[in-house]
Amino acid sequence: MYDARVVANEVLIRAWDEELELTQIDVQKICYFLHGHFLVEHGQPLISSEFEAWEYGPVQKTVHDAFKSFGDQPIDKLARKFDPVKREYKELPRLLDNSAIASIEEHLYKYLEIPSFTLVDITHAPNTPWSKTMDDAKTKTNIGMRIKNDVISSNFEGLIHA
Protein backbone atom coordinates (compact mmCIF):
# COMPACT_ATOMS: atom_id res chain seq x y z
CA MET A 1 0.00 0.00 0.00
CA TYR A 2 1.25 3.39 -0.95
CA ASP A 3 0.75 7.01 -0.04
CA ALA A 4 -1.90 8.39 -2.41
CA ARG A 5 0.44 11.23 -3.38
CA VAL A 6 3.08 8.73 -4.58
CA VAL A 7 0.50 7.11 -6.88
CA ALA A 8 -0.73 10.54 -8.01
CA ASN A 9 2.83 11.56 -8.84
CA GLU A 10 3.29 8.38 -10.88
CA VAL A 11 0.12 9.19 -12.82
CA LEU A 12 1.35 12.74 -13.46
CA ILE A 13 4.84 11.67 -14.56
CA ARG A 14 3.41 9.18 -17.05
CA ALA A 15 0.85 11.69 -18.35
CA TRP A 16 3.55 14.33 -18.81
CA ASP A 17 5.64 11.75 -20.71
CA GLU A 18 2.67 11.57 -23.12
CA GLU A 19 2.52 15.41 -23.21
CA LEU A 20 -0.86 15.40 -21.49
CA GLU A 21 -2.08 17.88 -18.89
CA LEU A 22 -4.10 16.69 -15.91
CA THR A 23 -6.23 18.59 -13.42
CA GLN A 24 -7.07 17.58 -9.87
CA ILE A 25 -10.26 15.90 -11.04
CA ASP A 26 -8.33 13.80 -13.57
CA VAL A 27 -5.73 12.72 -11.02
CA GLN A 28 -8.31 11.91 -8.34
CA LYS A 29 -10.48 9.81 -10.61
CA ILE A 30 -7.57 8.00 -12.28
CA CYS A 31 -6.07 7.13 -8.88
CA TYR A 32 -9.47 5.78 -7.84
CA PHE A 33 -9.78 3.59 -10.94
CA LEU A 34 -6.21 2.31 -10.59
CA HIS A 35 -6.88 1.52 -6.92
CA GLY A 36 -10.02 -0.43 -7.85
CA HIS A 37 -8.25 -2.51 -10.46
CA PHE A 38 -5.37 -3.22 -8.07
CA LEU A 39 -7.78 -4.33 -5.31
CA VAL A 40 -9.32 -6.92 -7.62
CA GLU A 41 -6.06 -8.09 -9.18
CA HIS A 42 -3.97 -8.32 -6.00
CA GLY A 43 -6.49 -8.59 -3.16
CA GLN A 44 -4.99 -5.59 -1.41
CA PRO A 45 -5.18 -1.81 -1.75
CA LEU A 46 -2.85 0.17 -3.98
CA ILE A 47 -3.41 3.26 -1.84
CA SER A 48 -3.13 3.03 1.94
CA SER A 49 -5.80 5.60 2.85
CA GLU A 50 -9.50 5.30 2.12
CA PHE A 51 -11.22 7.32 -0.57
CA GLU A 52 -13.85 9.81 0.56
CA ALA A 53 -17.16 10.56 -1.19
CA TRP A 54 -17.03 14.24 -2.15
CA GLU A 55 -19.24 16.27 -4.49
CA TYR A 56 -17.27 15.37 -7.62
CA GLY A 57 -16.73 11.74 -6.70
CA PRO A 58 -14.08 9.70 -4.86
CA VAL A 59 -11.28 11.83 -3.41
CA GLN A 60 -8.02 11.22 -1.60
CA LYS A 61 -7.73 14.13 0.83
CA THR A 62 -3.92 14.19 0.82
CA VAL A 63 -3.93 14.42 -2.98
CA HIS A 64 -6.52 17.19 -2.83
CA ASP A 65 -4.43 19.10 -0.28
CA ALA A 66 -1.27 18.65 -2.36
CA PHE A 67 -2.84 20.06 -5.53
CA LYS A 68 -5.61 22.41 -4.34
CA SER A 69 -3.55 25.47 -5.24
CA PHE A 70 -3.98 24.52 -8.92
CA GLY A 71 -7.76 24.83 -8.73
CA ASP A 72 -9.19 23.61 -12.03
CA GLN A 73 -5.96 24.33 -13.92
CA PRO A 74 -3.46 21.70 -15.10
CA ILE A 75 -1.06 20.46 -12.43
CA ASP A 76 2.55 21.23 -13.24
CA LYS A 77 4.37 20.14 -10.07
CA LEU A 78 4.58 16.87 -8.21
CA ALA A 79 3.11 16.44 -4.73
CA ARG A 80 5.54 16.75 -1.85
CA LYS A 81 5.35 15.85 1.83
CA PHE A 82 5.79 18.22 4.74
CA ASP A 83 8.38 17.36 7.39
CA PRO A 84 6.98 18.90 10.60
CA VAL A 85 10.29 18.53 12.46
CA LYS A 86 12.40 20.36 9.89
CA ARG A 87 9.40 22.47 8.83
CA GLU A 88 10.11 21.97 5.15
CA TYR A 89 8.68 20.17 2.15
CA LYS A 90 10.47 17.13 0.79
CA GLU A 91 10.21 15.06 -2.37
CA LEU A 92 8.15 11.88 -2.18
CA PRO A 93 9.78 8.62 -3.28
CA ARG A 94 9.03 7.13 -6.69
CA LEU A 95 6.85 4.06 -6.89
CA LEU A 96 9.19 1.07 -7.29
CA ASP A 97 6.97 -1.96 -6.68
CA ASN A 98 6.78 -4.10 -9.83
CA SER A 99 3.19 -5.25 -9.30
CA ALA A 100 1.98 -1.69 -8.71
CA ILE A 101 3.85 -0.41 -11.75
CA ALA A 102 2.54 -3.25 -13.94
CA SER A 103 -1.03 -2.59 -12.85
CA ILE A 104 -0.69 1.14 -13.49
CA GLU A 105 0.81 0.50 -16.93
CA GLU A 106 -2.00 -1.92 -17.78
CA HIS A 107 -4.84 0.46 -16.90
CA LEU A 108 -3.61 4.08 -16.87
CA TYR A 109 -3.56 4.88 -20.56
CA LYS A 110 -7.22 4.03 -21.19
CA TYR A 111 -8.21 6.49 -18.43
CA LEU A 112 -5.91 9.21 -19.76
CA GLU A 113 -8.06 9.23 -22.92
CA ILE A 114 -11.30 9.97 -21.06
CA PRO A 115 -12.33 13.63 -20.51
CA SER A 116 -12.45 14.87 -16.89
CA PHE A 117 -16.16 15.16 -16.46
CA THR A 118 -16.80 11.84 -18.18
CA LEU A 119 -14.64 10.32 -15.43
CA VAL A 120 -16.87 12.12 -12.92
CA ASP A 121 -19.98 10.77 -14.64
CA ILE A 122 -18.58 7.23 -14.45
CA THR A 123 -17.98 7.50 -10.69
CA HIS A 124 -21.42 9.09 -10.16
CA ALA A 125 -23.40 6.39 -11.99
CA PRO A 126 -26.07 4.57 -9.96
CA ASN A 127 -24.81 1.71 -7.79
CA THR A 128 -21.17 2.80 -7.88
CA PRO A 129 -19.21 2.88 -4.61
CA TRP A 130 -19.52 6.68 -4.56
CA SER A 131 -23.30 6.68 -5.09
CA LYS A 132 -23.80 3.86 -2.57
CA THR A 133 -21.78 5.79 0.02
CA MET A 134 -23.76 8.97 -0.66
CA ASP A 135 -27.07 7.08 -0.45
CA ASP A 136 -26.07 5.28 2.76
CA ALA A 137 -25.19 8.63 4.35
CA LYS A 138 -28.88 9.56 4.23
CA THR A 139 -29.66 6.92 6.86
CA LYS A 140 -26.31 5.98 8.47
CA THR A 141 -23.43 7.88 9.99
CA ASN A 142 -20.17 7.70 8.03
CA ILE A 143 -17.59 10.06 9.50
CA GLY A 144 -15.48 11.38 6.65
CA MET A 145 -17.75 9.78 4.04
CA ARG A 146 -15.27 6.92 3.64
CA ILE A 147 -15.72 4.60 0.67
CA LYS A 148 -14.86 1.11 1.90
CA ASN A 149 -12.38 -0.96 -0.11
CA ASP A 150 -14.70 -3.99 -0.14
CA VAL A 151 -17.36 -1.86 -1.84
CA ILE A 152 -14.81 -0.62 -4.39
CA SER A 153 -13.51 -4.14 -4.99
CA SER A 154 -16.98 -5.59 -5.56
CA ASN A 155 -17.66 -2.82 -8.10
CA PHE A 156 -14.50 -3.64 -10.06
CA GLU A 157 -14.92 -7.44 -9.98
CA GLY A 158 -15.97 -8.78 -13.33
CA LEU A 159 -14.92 -5.71 -15.29
CA ILE A 160 -13.19 -6.52 -18.53
CA HIS A 161 -9.55 -5.46 -18.26
CA ALA A 162 -8.35 -4.14 -21.59
Q: Going residue by residue through the chain (162 aa), what tens digit of pLDDT does each one get?
A: 999 999 999 999 999 999 999 999 999 999 999 999 999 999 999 999 999 999 889 999 999 999 999 999 999 999 999 989 999 999 999 999 999 999 999 999 999 999 999 999 999 999 999 999 999 888 888 878 999 999 999 999 866 443
Q: What are phi and psi of 76, to 5 degrees?
A: -125, 10
55-67: buried (b, 16+ CB within 10 Å) or exposed (e) per residue?
A: ebbbbbebbbebb
CA dihedral 38, 102, 111, 73 (to 10 degrees): 100
All residues at 6 or more sequence positions from 85 whose CB lies less than 8 Å from its CB, including other chains: none
Closest CA to 10 of 60, 70, 78, 56: 78
User: Which pTM was predicted?
Assistant: 0.93
CA–CA separation, 88 and 72 (whole Å): 26
Quick one: pLDDT at residue 161?
44
Compute the C-alpha angle 51/139/45, nearest 5°: 20
